A and B are shown apart, each in its own frame.
Chain A
Amino acid sequence: GNSVTQMEGPVTLSEEAFLTINCTYTATGYPSLFWYVQYPGEGLQLLLKATKADDKGSNKGFEATYRKETTSFHLEKGSVQVSDSAVYFCALLLGGSYIPTFGRGTSLIVHP
C-alpha cells in the first residue's frame, strides 16, 4: 500500500541553524507530494508541494525536491526561526485518488 515515513522527532535546533526533515514514501504509481505545517492549537496548512519528479516546491524559505530515484521529499530551510517551531507533515496523493496519505509528523523546536 501507500505510505509515508518521516524522521522521528523532536528536532531541536538553535535559531539560524540549517534544517532537514527527512521524508520517504512508498506508492503504487507517481504521486504528488506535499509538506504541511501544524502550529500549536491549529489545523494543518499547506506549506509546499511538488507534482512530478525533479520538481522543487518552495515557500517561506522552505524547499523540498521530489526525488523519484530515492523516493524522497526532504524538507530543508537554510536558517530557521523560533516562529518555525511546529509539527511538519509529509503527505502523498496518487493521481485518481482524492485522499492524501500523511506521515506521522515531525516536531521542530527552535530555541533563540
Chain B
Amino acid sequence: DAGVTQSPTHLIKTRGQQVTLRCSPKSGHDTVSWYQQALGQGPQFIFQYYEEEERQRGNFPDRFSGHQFPNYSSELNVNALLLGDSALYLCASSLVDNGYTFGSGTRLTVV
C-alpha cells in the first residue's frame, strides 16, 4: 500500500516564476493538507483540501493556491516566486481525524 507520493522531489526555480507541486494521498484518504517547512523550523500549515474544496487556510498570501481532483490527489501552485519561498513542501493526507500520513516532500529552491 503506497503512502503519500509527492513530485518532484527537488526543484530549482528563478524568482518571479511559477511552480506546481503534486501530491497523491495514501489509499483510502480523502483529505490533503499542504505544509511549508523552512530549514530548522516546524511545518507551517498552508491549506487543506476536502471534497475538492479548500476547507481551511493558514497565514499564506494568495500567491499560494491549490486544487484537489476527484481522485483526491492535489496540487500546490505558487506564483511570483520569492527567495523566501525556498523550503521543503510537505503534503499530508488523512481520513477524518485519524492521524496524518506525510509524504517525503518537495525541496524547492528559488534562486
Interface of A with B (CB < 8 Å)? 34, 36, 41-46, 49, 89, 93, 98-100, 102-105
Interface size on B, residues (CB 8 A): 25
The answer to whether B45 touches A43 (Cβ under 8 A) is: no
Point out the residues of chain B lying under 8 angstroms from A44, CB to CB: 43, 90, 92, 100, 102
B38: min CB distance to chain A, Å: 10
Point out the residues of chain B lying under 8 angstroms from A105, CB to CB: 40-42
B41 — nearest CB in chain A belongs to which residue?
A104
Point out the residues of chain A lying under 8 angstroms from B45, CB to CB: 99
- A17–B94 Cα distance when bound, in Å, is 35
The answer to whether A100 touches B41 (Cβ under 8 A) is: no
**Interface residues in B46-103 (C-beta closer than 8 Å to A):** 48, 50, 55-56, 58, 90, 92, 94, 97, 99-103
* Given A98-B31, A98-B56, A103-B42, also A42-B99 (CB < 8 A): no
A31: min CB distance to chain B, Å: 11
A49 — nearest CB in chain B belongs to which residue?
B99
- A100–B102 Cα distance when bound, in Å, is 13
B31: min CB distance to chain A, Å: 7
Counting CB contacts under 8 A, is B25 at the interface? no
A63: min CB distance to chain B, Å: 18
The answer to whether B43 touches A98 (Cβ under 8 A) is: no
Known: A43-B103, A99-B48, A105-B42. 10 other contacts (CB 8 A): A41-B104, A42-B105, A43-B4, A43-B90, A43-B105, A89-B43, A98-B31, A98-B56, A99-B58, A102-B42
Counting CB contacts under 8 A, is B24 at the interface? no
- A43–B5 Cα distance when bound, in Å, is 11
Point out the residues of chain A lying under 8 angstroms from B55, CB to CB: 98
The answer to whether B42 touches A104 (Cβ under 8 A) is: yes
- A46–B93 Cα distance when bound, in Å, is 12
Point out the residues of chain A lying under 8 angstroms from B42, CB to CB: 89, 102-105
- A6–B42 Cα distance when bound, in Å, is 11
**Interface residues in B23-44 (C-beta closer than 8 Å to A):** 31, 33, 40-43
Point out the residues of chain A lying under 8 angstroms from B40, CB to CB: 104-105
